[in-house]
Structure 1
Amino acid sequence: FRGQPLILDVSAGRSSVSVAGGYLQVRVAEPDSEAAVQQAVERWLRQQARPLFEDSIERQFGWFAGQGYTRPVLRVKKMRTRWGSLSAKGYINLNMALLHYPPAALD
Protein backbone atom coordinates (compact mmCIF):
# COMPACT_ATOMS: atom_id res chain seq x y z
CA PHE A 1 0.00 0.00 0.00
CA ARG A 2 1.45 3.37 -1.15
CA GLY A 3 4.70 1.60 -2.04
CA GLN A 4 5.12 -0.19 1.28
CA PRO A 5 4.92 -3.98 1.40
CA LEU A 6 2.34 -5.32 3.85
CA ILE A 7 1.67 -8.77 5.26
CA LEU A 8 -1.94 -9.88 4.91
CA ASP A 9 -3.56 -10.75 8.25
CA VAL A 10 -7.05 -12.23 7.83
CA SER A 11 -9.30 -13.23 10.72
CA ALA A 12 -12.94 -13.59 11.66
CA GLY A 13 -14.83 -10.59 12.91
CA ARG A 14 -16.91 -7.62 12.00
CA SER A 15 -15.97 -6.44 8.51
CA SER A 16 -13.03 -4.01 8.66
CA VAL A 17 -9.69 -3.36 6.98
CA SER A 18 -6.79 -1.38 8.43
CA VAL A 19 -3.03 -0.95 8.19
CA ALA A 20 -1.01 -1.38 11.35
CA GLY A 21 2.61 -2.32 12.01
CA GLY A 22 3.36 -3.60 8.51
CA TYR A 23 0.14 -5.62 8.30
CA LEU A 24 -3.01 -5.24 6.25
CA GLN A 25 -5.50 -6.46 8.81
CA VAL A 26 -8.70 -7.79 7.24
CA ARG A 27 -11.61 -8.82 9.42
CA VAL A 28 -14.53 -10.55 7.69
CA ALA A 29 -17.34 -12.85 8.76
CA GLU A 30 -16.00 -15.62 6.52
CA PRO A 31 -12.18 -15.44 6.67
CA ASP A 32 -11.80 -18.62 4.58
CA SER A 33 -13.72 -17.05 1.68
CA GLU A 34 -11.29 -15.52 -0.80
CA ALA A 35 -14.18 -13.58 -2.38
CA ALA A 36 -15.18 -12.04 0.97
CA VAL A 37 -11.60 -10.97 1.71
CA GLN A 38 -11.12 -9.55 -1.79
CA GLN A 39 -14.40 -7.63 -1.61
CA ALA A 40 -13.48 -6.12 1.77
CA VAL A 41 -10.01 -5.08 0.56
CA GLU A 42 -11.36 -3.56 -2.68
CA ARG A 43 -14.00 -1.59 -0.78
CA TRP A 44 -11.32 -0.30 1.59
CA LEU A 45 -9.00 0.61 -1.31
CA ARG A 46 -11.77 2.65 -2.95
CA GLN A 47 -12.31 4.52 0.34
CA GLN A 48 -8.59 5.26 0.56
CA ALA A 49 -8.28 6.21 -3.11
CA ARG A 50 -10.87 8.98 -3.34
CA PRO A 51 -9.27 11.51 -0.94
CA LEU A 52 -5.73 10.71 -2.10
CA PHE A 53 -6.65 11.03 -5.79
CA GLU A 54 -8.66 14.22 -5.16
CA ASP A 55 -5.67 15.72 -3.35
CA SER A 56 -3.32 14.86 -6.22
CA ILE A 57 -5.69 16.36 -8.79
CA GLU A 58 -6.12 19.52 -6.71
CA ARG A 59 -2.36 20.02 -6.30
CA GLN A 60 -1.74 19.68 -10.03
CA PHE A 61 -4.80 21.35 -11.47
CA GLY A 62 -3.60 24.93 -11.07
CA TRP A 63 -1.65 24.85 -14.31
CA PHE A 64 -4.61 23.40 -16.24
CA ALA A 65 -6.99 25.97 -14.74
CA GLY A 66 -4.63 28.68 -15.99
CA GLN A 67 -5.03 27.24 -19.49
CA GLY A 68 -8.82 27.53 -19.24
CA TYR A 69 -9.67 23.91 -18.44
CA THR A 70 -12.40 23.00 -15.97
CA ARG A 71 -11.63 20.54 -13.19
CA PRO A 72 -12.61 16.99 -14.15
CA VAL A 73 -14.90 14.82 -12.03
CA LEU A 74 -13.03 11.91 -10.42
CA ARG A 75 -14.08 8.31 -10.92
CA VAL A 76 -12.15 5.56 -9.13
CA LYS A 77 -12.20 2.34 -11.11
CA LYS A 78 -10.68 -1.11 -11.18
CA MET A 79 -9.08 -1.06 -14.63
CA ARG A 80 -7.26 -3.92 -16.33
CA THR A 81 -5.21 -2.13 -18.99
CA ARG A 82 -4.89 1.56 -18.05
CA TRP A 83 -3.68 3.66 -15.16
CA GLY A 84 -6.22 6.31 -16.02
CA SER A 85 -8.03 8.24 -18.69
CA LEU A 86 -9.71 11.60 -19.26
CA SER A 87 -12.98 11.71 -21.16
CA ALA A 88 -14.27 14.52 -23.37
CA LYS A 89 -17.27 14.71 -21.00
CA GLY A 90 -15.02 15.88 -18.16
CA TYR A 91 -14.40 12.70 -16.18
CA ILE A 92 -10.97 11.59 -15.00
CA ASN A 93 -10.90 7.83 -14.42
CA LEU A 94 -8.06 6.61 -12.22
CA ASN A 95 -7.14 3.00 -11.52
CA MET A 96 -7.34 2.14 -7.84
CA ALA A 97 -4.25 -0.06 -8.38
CA LEU A 98 -2.24 3.19 -8.26
CA LEU A 99 -2.51 2.84 -4.48
CA HIS A 100 -0.05 -0.05 -4.61
CA TYR A 101 2.74 2.30 -5.71
CA PRO A 102 4.56 5.18 -4.00
CA PRO A 103 2.74 8.54 -3.95
CA ALA A 104 5.02 9.95 -6.70
CA ALA A 105 3.62 7.36 -9.15
CA LEU A 106 0.13 8.81 -8.70
CA ASP A 107 1.30 12.37 -9.28
Structure 2
Amino acid sequence: MALESDLAVFGVGVAGGAANELLHWWGLRENPNLPEYVKRIFYWVVTLGMILLGGGLAWLQLGSQADALIAFQIGLAAPMLLQKLMKAAPEPGGGMGAKPASVRDFLRG
Protein backbone atom coordinates (compact mmCIF):
# COMPACT_ATOMS: atom_id res chain seq x y z
CA MET A 1 0.00 0.00 0.00
CA ALA A 2 1.40 3.37 -0.97
CA LEU A 3 1.50 6.22 1.53
CA GLU A 4 1.35 9.71 0.06
CA SER A 5 1.64 12.16 2.93
CA ASP A 6 4.08 13.05 5.66
CA LEU A 7 1.51 12.27 8.34
CA ALA A 8 0.71 8.84 6.86
CA VAL A 9 4.39 7.84 6.74
CA PHE A 10 4.93 9.12 10.28
CA GLY A 11 1.78 7.36 11.52
CA VAL A 12 2.72 3.99 10.05
CA GLY A 13 6.23 4.37 11.50
CA VAL A 14 4.67 5.11 14.89
CA ALA A 15 2.57 1.95 14.50
CA GLY A 16 5.81 0.01 13.95
CA GLY A 17 7.33 1.54 17.08
CA ALA A 18 4.19 0.69 19.05
CA ALA A 19 4.35 -2.90 17.75
CA ASN A 20 7.88 -3.11 19.11
CA GLU A 21 6.67 -2.07 22.56
CA LEU A 22 3.81 -4.56 22.33
CA LEU A 23 6.35 -7.30 21.60
CA HIS A 24 8.36 -6.16 24.63
CA TRP A 25 5.30 -6.49 26.88
CA TRP A 26 4.39 -9.82 25.30
CA GLY A 27 7.84 -11.06 26.37
CA LEU A 28 7.18 -9.91 29.95
CA ARG A 29 3.73 -11.50 30.20
CA GLU A 30 4.93 -14.57 32.11
CA ASN A 31 7.52 -12.77 34.24
CA PRO A 32 6.29 -12.93 37.86
CA ASN A 33 8.66 -10.10 38.83
CA LEU A 34 7.87 -7.11 36.69
CA PRO A 35 10.66 -4.54 36.77
CA GLU A 36 10.18 -1.73 39.27
CA TYR A 37 10.60 0.92 36.57
CA VAL A 38 7.20 0.15 35.02
CA LYS A 39 5.60 2.12 37.86
CA ARG A 40 7.50 5.30 37.04
CA ILE A 41 6.25 8.03 34.74
CA PHE A 42 9.79 8.44 33.38
CA TYR A 43 9.60 4.92 31.91
CA TRP A 44 6.39 5.72 30.08
CA VAL A 45 7.79 9.02 28.74
CA VAL A 46 10.83 7.18 27.38
CA THR A 47 8.54 4.50 25.92
CA LEU A 48 6.47 7.14 24.16
CA GLY A 49 9.68 8.73 22.88
CA MET A 50 10.83 5.40 21.45
CA ILE A 51 7.50 4.94 19.67
CA LEU A 52 7.69 8.46 18.22
CA LEU A 53 11.30 7.82 17.22
CA GLY A 54 10.05 5.04 14.96
CA GLY A 55 7.70 7.43 13.21
CA GLY A 56 10.31 10.16 12.97
CA LEU A 57 12.95 7.91 11.44
CA ALA A 58 10.46 6.49 8.95
CA TRP A 59 9.55 10.01 7.87
CA LEU A 60 13.18 11.17 7.74
CA GLN A 61 14.21 8.23 5.59
CA LEU A 62 11.19 8.03 3.32
CA GLY A 63 9.67 11.51 3.20
CA SER A 64 6.05 11.82 2.14
CA GLN A 65 6.01 8.98 -0.42
CA ALA A 66 6.53 5.44 0.87
CA ASP A 67 5.36 1.89 0.90
CA ALA A 68 3.44 1.20 4.13
CA LEU A 69 5.35 -1.99 4.90
CA ILE A 70 8.73 -0.24 4.61
CA ALA A 71 7.58 2.60 6.90
CA PHE A 72 6.27 0.05 9.42
CA GLN A 73 9.54 -1.90 9.33
CA ILE A 74 11.60 1.25 9.93
CA GLY A 75 9.35 2.17 12.86
CA LEU A 76 9.68 -1.34 14.26
CA ALA A 77 13.46 -1.44 13.85
CA ALA A 78 14.31 2.02 15.22
CA PRO A 79 13.84 1.23 18.94
CA MET A 80 15.52 -2.17 18.54
CA LEU A 81 18.57 -0.61 16.90
CA LEU A 82 18.86 2.01 19.62
CA GLN A 83 18.67 -0.70 22.29
CA LYS A 84 21.40 -2.72 20.55
CA LEU A 85 23.62 0.37 20.35
CA MET A 86 23.12 1.08 24.06
CA LYS A 87 23.94 -2.52 25.00
CA ALA A 88 27.17 -2.31 23.01
CA ALA A 89 28.20 1.04 24.53
CA PRO A 90 30.86 0.82 27.22
CA GLU A 91 29.74 1.35 30.79
CA PRO A 92 30.79 4.77 32.11
CA GLY A 93 33.33 4.68 34.93
CA GLY A 94 32.14 5.45 38.40
CA GLY A 95 32.47 4.89 42.10
CA MET A 96 31.56 1.90 44.15
CA GLY A 97 28.09 1.00 45.32
CA ALA A 98 24.64 0.86 43.83
CA LYS A 99 23.64 3.46 41.32
CA PRO A 100 20.13 4.65 40.48
CA ALA A 101 18.38 3.37 37.37
CA SER A 102 18.92 5.47 34.27
CA VAL A 103 17.74 5.67 30.67
CA ARG A 104 20.77 3.56 29.78
CA ASP A 105 19.44 0.75 32.01
CA PHE A 106 16.01 0.98 30.40
CA LEU A 107 17.41 0.86 26.89
CA ARG A 108 19.63 -2.09 27.70
CA GLY A 109 16.40 -4.01 28.31
TM-score by length of 1: 0.27
If each structure's strand is expressed as a fraction of its own residues, which one has the higher value? 1
Name the structure, 1 or 2, with higher relative contact order (CA <8 Å, separation 6+). Answer: 2
